[in-house]
Structure 1
Amino acid sequence: MEEFEASTAAKKTKTIYISTVFGIAMVLLMVGMLGLILVHANNLSRYIKENMVVNVFVDEGARETEVVQFQQKLANDPHVKRSQYVPKEQAARNLQKDLGEDFVKFLGVNPLSPSIDVYMKADYANNNDLTRFANELRKNPMVKEVKYQQSLVDQMNQNMTSITLVILSFTAIFLVVSIALINNTIRLAIYSQRFLIKSMQLVGATKGFIRKPFLLYGIWHGLLGALIATIILVGTLYLAYQQVPDLVVLQNYVEFGIIFAGVVLLGIFISGFSTFLAVNRFLRLKIYQLYR
């Protein structure tokens, strides 16, 4: 009879711990998902900013060697991601491709000017820096005109700022909820062991001795839950990149690694700390309070 009861208790405890691990995993999965969404949103913003072109039109009377030297000088500018020289013939071919017809043949002359396409670094793709950059370029006698889409820059920066703030707000809220859920899950798991904790205390075991195995189990469960969440996140990323190949331009393995490491550390910390608090709570209770 005693063996049957011991076996039943062991199975019940095992079930509780398994549910605890999966509960931690699901909560950490959602936190990791929000982290990946935030990383992709930030990378999308950077990609758009670094592919926004500033057209620098040069005087047709300028020698090509001088224009190429000027383009190389721009390429070495700390604010510039890259630059490309576009001769007037190439500009005509590009426009013909966009229009779908040969406008040069219709006009009898190529009205386009040679230009330099400048792509700014993401940190400088804002109207203040772009205006300052354009004013500096206009001081060069070779430069005839500088154009960029000012309204698009403003709108893009405002939209990305709003999106980032919304995602950060959801992440912060969900992080608080996650901590509360994991804490409650672990407290319920420790609750089933409250009589064992009190029995060990009554026979003279120190608080540190009692607390140690529970803390180790808590850390282990947090690690298992985090690893399960990380595996699911990796699988989700793989499927996303398979279904939408264009997302490859947004991937950043360093940032993904930071997210995964953060999920693992968060799982270990919250699980270990919640276990510490739960065990301490039952260590402070009187015997008659265990039945409440």
Structure 2
Amino acid sequence: MSNTAAKRKLRSSYVTTVISISLVLFLLGIIGLLFLNAHRLSNYVKENLGFTVLVDDNSREAEVQRLQKILNASPYVREAAYVSKDEAAAIMQEELGEDFVDFLGYNPLLSSIEVKVYAEYANPDSMAVIENQVLNFPQVQEVYYQKNLLHAVNDNIEKITIVLAGFSILLLVIAIALINNTIRLSVYSRRFLIKTMQLVGATRGFIRKPFLATGILNGLAGATIAILLLSTLIYGMNKELQGMIGFDNLFLIGVLFGLVILLGMLITLISTFFAVNKYLRLKADDLYF
């Protein structure tokens, strides 16, 4: 094989290794992105449940506004918005596509206060306590919220968190195995070079050094490509999911990118170390098998 052909083959091996590492790290980055944002995503879902306070029809406007201010000042309330009878009718008319007030001759809807609670209070026990407290106000006729949905959301968030954690660990193990196999194949193609250097008197540390340096560089290059792919994904999804996933959190993104770089360099370094050691221990005759 000519020197040019050997260099071309070696370059192709480097490219294949870096691409394989970058794709695996990209998948790990996606899982890391979801995992790091899982808490914020669950908070977003919980804080959009809330409850509706139906106000007694005989209550005066000033009393209702005072109730709204009291609710807004409560430690469990994130936001409380007053909806008048006319506003409720307009919303209902838009949903139905017809003027039901003209058909009935009167507006049967009640004024209400739409309340959004903080995530830590969006659970069945806390909501039951809040419901009893709000019902004590004389202006309140009824407190309505979807109890079944609240139970389902809390149960499913716990299950999703456990599944996501398990899937992350599984993918990490698979990623380590894939990168390790890629590195082993790369080192395997240069096993005769390792043995030649050993036969001419080079120490194990001297032989390992360029392989470890190359492994670190491959890991860094793969992590860089993975970060570019993740950045593209984040930029594209930020427009669709702005305010939900929290891609605007630069600290969180920095932690994610740092972990990708660290994993890329660490896995390739360890895999290269053991792969080179394997061929350092082998006898020359065993290199052909």
Give the TM-score of the pair, scaled to structure 2: 0.83
Shift, 1:222, TM fit:
0.9
2:28 maps to which residue? 31
Deviations 1:183-217 (A, max 9, x none): 01101111223333334444444433332322221
**Within the alignment, does 1:269 sit opposite 2:263 as a pair?**
no
Give 4+ residue runs of structure 1 displaced > 6 Å after superposition: 39-42
Secondary structure at the residue paired with 1:81? strand
1:280 maps to which residue? 277
CA contact (8 A) 2:83 2:113 kept: yes
2:115 maps to which residue? 118
In 1, the alpha carbon distance for the partners of 2:121 and 2:253 equals 25
Secondary structure at the residue paired with 2:242? helix
Shift, 1:43, TM fit:
5.6
In 2, the alpha carbon distance for the partners of 1:246 and 1:185 equals 36
Secondary structure at the residue paired with 1:248? coil
2:150 maps to which residue? 153
In 1, the alpha carbon distance for the partners of 2:3 and 2:273 equals 26
The answer for unaligned runs of 5 or more in structure 2 is none
Q: Which amino acid aligns with 2:12?
A: T
Instruction: Give runs of aligned pairs for residues 1-292 of structure 1, distance below 5 A.
Output: 5-36=2-33, 45-239=42-236, 246-253=240-247, 254=249, 255-292=252-289
Secondary structure at the residue paired with 1:141? coil
In 2, the alpha carbon distance for the partners of 1:217 and 1:80 equals 56
In 2, the alpha carbon distance for the partners of 1:284 and 1:139 equals 80
In 1, the alpha carbon distance for the partners of 2:42 and 2:148 equals 16
Secondary structure at the residue paired with 1:250? coil
In 2, the alpha carbon distance for the partners of 1:130 and 1:262 equals 38
The count of corresponding residues between Structure 1 and Structure 2 is 286
In 2, the alpha carbon distance for the partners of 1:23 and 1:185 equals 7
In 2, the alpha carbon distance for the partners of 1:90 and 1:16 equals 67
Shift, 1:273, TM fit:
1.5
In 1, the alpha carbon distance for the partners of 2:65 and 2:258 equals 46
In 2, the alpha carbon distance for the partners of 1:76 and 1:132 equals 17
Q: Percent identity?
A: 46
In 2, the alpha carbon distance for the partners of 1:209 and 1:64 equals 85
Instruction: Out of 101-110 and 269-278, give the one that drifted further.
Output: 101-110
Give the TM-score of the pair, scaled to structure 1: 0.82
The answer for unaligned runs of 5 or more in structure 1 is none
